[in-house]
Amino acid sequence: MTKTISSSVGYPTINRAMSVYNALIDALEEFIDRESSPSLREAATQGKQKLLDYYSKTDSTPVYAVATAMDPRMRFDWWSVNDWEGYIQACADMVTDVWQKNYKGKEGPIELDIEVQRQMRLFGIKKKPGELDEYIREGSSLITCKAEPPELMYWRSQMERWPNLANMARDYLAIPVTSTPAERCFSQAKSIATLHSNILDKEAFEAIEALEALEALEAIEHNRIRCN
């Protein structure tokens, strides 16, 4: 279940973490409501509490909010759909803070002197919004793509329009939601650094690792396209 809703590829990323938490908690609540066995209800209740404990930690870092907002299928609309209106402003503040400190650069509206502002008001001219403002105003987008994760396809297509915001999105959308991919690399390394190939330099070792990872991703993509 979690793999299905967390990512369209084999390596789930952090932009779907909050929606996965929600789905699991909702499923446990439904189970608790309809289950008649006291022992199973208690087990489900404890499982729900454990999820809530972990879920509460997502507020301690802007990573989850930024990654969720940078997913064009979710943006800030996701909080509205889930009746979390009170959390939208806190999320927006975290996203804006990361944007302004690390990615904004010189894009977006510039400070205008008083006379220019007066003339703009007189003739009804509005300042051009910045990249983040434009992105938020567009609202969530339904994207389908079989060749690559839809969120990455979206930002690939927006590189010229919002170059700085696209850099921010790609940084946060690349964060894995679990350490499994990294652990898998260590497991794969055992098949490379054997007694017969233990003098490989680091460049050759990394190249072989990259090739094996690419082959694995191609196999996943081939199976996914065949199933669809």
Q: Is the pLDDT of residue 31 over 90?
A: yes
Q: Best-predicted range by mean pLDDT among 106-110, 130-134, 142-146, 180-184?
A: 130-134
Which two tokens mark 33? 């409501």
Q: Which residues contact 21 (CB under 8 A, 6 or more apart)?
A: 51, 54, 55, 58
Q: Tell me the average pLDDT of the chain.
A: 75
pLDDT digit string, tens, across residues 90-139:
888 888 999 988 988 754 444 555 655 555 565 555 555 688 888 888 77
Q: Which of 24, 139, 128 is nearest to 75 (CA)?
A: 139
Q: Is the dihedral of CA 110, 114, 118, 121 positive or negative?
A: positive
pTM over 0.85: no
Q: Do 146 and 224 form a contact (C-beta atoms < 8 A)?
A: yes
Phi and psi at residue 208, to the nearest 5° = -65, -40
Report the pLDDT value the prediction gives residue 7, as an integer from 0 to 100.
43
pLDDT digit string, tens, across residues 34-67:
988 999 999 999 999 999 998 888 888 889 889 9
Which one is predicted more confidently, 207 or 99?
Answer: 99
Spans of all domains in the chain = 2-173, 180-227
Q: Do 78 and 68 form a contact (C-beta atoms < 8 A)?
A: yes
